[in-house]
Amino acid sequence: MNFQKKIYHANIVTPDRIINNGTIIIEDDRIVGIEEGLPTSIELDDIDAEGKWVLPGLVDSHSDAIEIELEPRPSSKFPIEVSFFELEKKLVGEGITTIYHSLSLMEENAKKWIRQNQTVINVIEDIKRLSQHQHLIRHKTHLRYEITNTSAVPEVRRLIETNKIDQLSFMDHTPGQGQFRDIEIQKKLLIEHRHYSEEEALEIIEESLKQQKLEPSVLKNLAELATLHDIPIASHDDDTIEKLLLVKELNASISEFPIELVVAKKAKEMGLYVVMGAPNVLLGKSHSNNLSAMEAIENGAVDIFCSDYYPSSMLHAAFKLYHHGHSIYEAINMVSLNPAKALRIDHEVGSIEVGKKADLLIVSEDQMRPVLHTVFMNGNIVCQMNYQSPVAASVLH
């Protein structure tokens, strides 16, 4: 007999409605039933959600967190065997049950070690290897390929052909366009965030302007190979309609971080999934002074939130949207079902539906702030937050 348990007394958020005081029935790693009301019998292993929200596990389509975990300081390089497993403990504590680790393949001798060709290739190989060991969450890889990195083409082909990557995005960080259309903003980022001197920053910008880009035929060939292997393709920092037309020709189905509202709207019109950063939602602006996610949302031009550089932002961004008047299921879909659809894994994860993996979150609210209590992965509790009650002031004296 298969092992079965229930989560009851739950406000269940499905893709299109809320089931108040409902029950989810889990058998092994799957959801086998969703019912209104309390179960007729309660067993020892059943879980009382106590009227809290029960949400699908979050699907993060773009996270730079592994880069920071591996190289938190320019002179500090931690082994992947430490970083991988320590990072997933942080991610599961943010409600992320499926992560697309984003690795930037910038150039052979990139200024940052973590973005050099061999480092990125090794990390992707290691993620695939380590994800076969005991783990807390589902690990995927997202190769961010800089199109000025012409020497890496053979390795990118190999990674595609050996099924080492699960998402491929094409990037162009050449100064004067895309994210860095304002060169002064790029210079400021290099100085303040990357800690270069002004002279070094100007030198980097000057070198970038001289770089050659992949020939269109080579780019097209890589895109066709990725499509053949059913790897979703994303564009990055789209700033013109012309660029959208180009990426559509490359079989892209995702537009990450469009720079202008008119571009985001056009991407939606063209059938692309539009991704914006959840940190942008929380901060109310882009750190690069580009399109505001909230403005794009109010114009119906966003499908997906990703954590980008701040994993904590995913759940908070969804609840911010909810408290700004959007339905809870619409907000939660943007961090679960919509990314799962864009990445073609929605047959398994991304929503609370019969037949899908039981990746679930139990969440309450504290003055509109989401409070994560329990995380289920494949039907098993992988994270439990047991918050302590405030100690009475008299006890402290």
Same domain, 258 and 143: yes
Q: How far apart are CA 339 and CA 167, in angstroms?
A: 12
Could you tell me if 216 and 240 lie in one domain? yes
Say which residues have a Cβ less than 8 Å from residue 299's Cβ, sequence separation at least 6: 261, 264, 265
Contacts for 177 with CB less than 8 Å, ≥ 6 apart: 239
170 and 253 together in one domain: yes
CATH of the domain at 308: 3.20.20.140
Local structure of 93: helix, strand or coil: coil
- Which pLDDT belongs to residue 114? 92
Cα–chain center distance at 291:
19
pLDDT at residue 107, rounded to an integer: 83
**pLDDT per residue as tens digits for the range 309-322:** 999 999 999 999 99
- The model's pLDDT over 200-259, given as tens digits with 9 standing for 90+, comes to 666 665 666 556 788 999 999 999 999 999 999 999 999 899 999 999 999 999 999 999
Element (H, E) at 210: helix 198-210
Residue 17 belongs to a domain with what CATH number? Answer: 2.30.40.10
Residues 286 and 224 in one domain: yes
Question: What are 278-302's pLDDT values in tens digits?
Answer: 999 999 877 666 899 999 999 999 9
Supply φ then ψ for residue 385, to 5 degrees.
-100, 115
Task: Name the residue range of residue 77's domain.
Answer: 58-174+211-342
The answer to whether residue 393 sits within a structural domain is no
Does residue 105 sit within a domain? Answer: yes
My answer on whether 229 and 296 are in the same domain is yes
pLDDT of residue 194: 61
